A and B are shown apart, each in its own frame.
Chain A
Amino acid sequence: MRASLIKIAAVGAFLISSPNAQEAEAPDEASGLAAWAKIYEIFSDERCASCHVADGRPMWSGEHYGGTYKHPMYVGGSPELLLGHPGLMCTTCHMAENAQKLHGPPGAEVWHLPPAEMAWWGKSSTEICEQVKDPTRNGGRTLAELQSHVAEDPLVAWGWAPGPGRKPAPYSAKETADFLVAWSASGAPCPPAD
């Protein structure tokens, strides 16, 4: 309560001190944050975040698992081995296409993990936002490259076509890329950490 009063007072003071700057920037920032909220809804969805993990161990999550688990079979644990371990590569089980049986292995071209610095699992909106636009932690991508990665990468596209019985990520790859365009156009703002 006290903190929010202070915030309101601070915003009020800002409004009074520079009304023009506020009018010029507020709508942009607000629409940028609104676009980011949708992007966060997608990136933090279990279909995306299950593989964006920090410890090299992807998650199994979704209703058909009856809960959320770390990938069994002692998979992962070496965050630098994004393609799996010798003898048990991701592609030992994950094919170029989804298995058509529930609980069979999902698949797409070159099934692998993203690097640990791109972890989203359990991260806040602010943390994911800062990571996504930081080229040292986003694969060296500009925001434009990020948009085409989301729009075109076959493994990203899997999130919206995850095979029988799995709930797809919200929206679509195209809409996600559009949200990224809108977000970048308004200066790629990140929500403040709470």
Chain B
Amino acid sequence: MQLTINGKNHEVDVDPETPLLWVLRDEVGLTGTKFGCGIAMCGACTVHVNGQPRRSCSLPVKLVDGDITTIEGIGTPDAMNAVQEAWVENQVAQCGFCQSGQIMTAAALLSMNPEPSDDDIDRAMSGNICRCGTYPRIRAAVHAAAAKMRGA
């Protein structure tokens, strides 16, 4: 099966029912995407398919219908995406486990809504659970990333 992940083509030989998450982590070796619940309840496994956030733990790889972007694909430690920068500047992460999912959701929100209100942020981010309770910092960082992206 052919997959495009972070702009690169990958040939993977897997059961088509395999959740995308395990293809990314175990077959392709991209371990930035995390496993929390396996039933689309926590958001830790969020990636983009055609720019839209999807819960990779619940998406059988046979249903992937576009280009995949993971946390490794939106920026690197040397060349961070505006959302990642805002995350660092606001010191959002506590344990960090949920944060790649949080950042992927935030990036998708900002691509569709460049100036979200608090409520827009809460509505987008409420499917991403943080057991460390970093929610206030997440909201602040989304506003900060939005300002960066608008060049403000």
Residues of A within 8 A of B (CB): 73-75, 77-78, 85-89, 91-93, 95-97, 99, 101, 103-105
Q: How far is the CB of A123 from chain B (nearest CB, A)?
A: 26
Report chain B residues within 8 Å CB of A89: 52-53
Who on chain A is nearest to B42 by CB?
A73
How many Å lie between the Cα of A93 and that of B58 in the bound state? Answer: 7
Q: Known: A74-B122, A87-B112, A103-B41. Contact between A92 and B127, CB under 8 A?
A: yes
A74 touches B40 (CB 8 A): no
Which chain A residue has the least Cβ–Cβ distance from B113? A86
**What's the interface size class on B, roughly?**
20 to 34
Closest 9 CB pairs of A and B: A87-B124, A87-B109, A74-B126, A86-B112, A93-B40, A104-B39, A85-B123, A73-B127, A105-B40
Chain B 31-81 interface residues, beta-carbon cutoff 8 Å to A: 38-41, 46, 52-55, 58-60, 63
11 A–B contacts, CB within 8 A, in A order: A73-B127, A74-B126, A85-B120, A85-B124, A86-B124, A87-B106, A87-B112, A88-B124, A92-B55, A101-B39, A105-B40
Q: What's the least CB distance linking B51 to chain A, in Å? A: 11
B92-149 residues at the A interface, CB under 8 angstroms: 105-106, 108-109, 112-113, 116, 120, 122-127
Q: What is the distance, in angstroms, from A81's C-beta to the closest C-beta of chain B?
A: 9
Interface residues of B, dominant DSSP: mixed
Of the candidates A74, A91, A93, A105, the one whose C-beta lies within 8 Å of that of B123 is A74
Contact of B108 among A87, A97, A101 (CB under 8 A): A87
Complex formed: what's the CA distance from A96 to B61 in Å?
Answer: 12
Tell whether A87 pairs with B53 under 8 Å between CB atoms, given A73-B127, A74-B123, A104-B40: yes
> How many Å lie between the Cα of A105 and that of B112 in the bound state?
24
Inter-subunit contact A97/B60 (CB<8 Å) = yes
Chain B residues near A91 (CB-CB < 8 A)? 52, 54
A95 to B55, CA, bound (A): 9
Which residues of B are found within 8 Å of A95, using beta-carbon distances?
A: 58-60, 63
B40 lies within 8 A of A99 (CB): yes
Point out the residues of chain A lying under 8 angstroms from B39, CB to CB.
99, 101, 103-105
In the complex, chain B residues whose CB is within 8 Å of the CB of A97: 60, 63
Nearest B residue to A81, CB-CB = B123
User: Hey, which chain B residues are within 8 Å of A78, CB to CB?
Assistant: 123
Partner of B55, one of A86, A93, A96, A103: A93
Distance, CA A95 to CA B19, complexed state (A): 12
The chain A residue sitting closest to B111, CB to CB, is A86
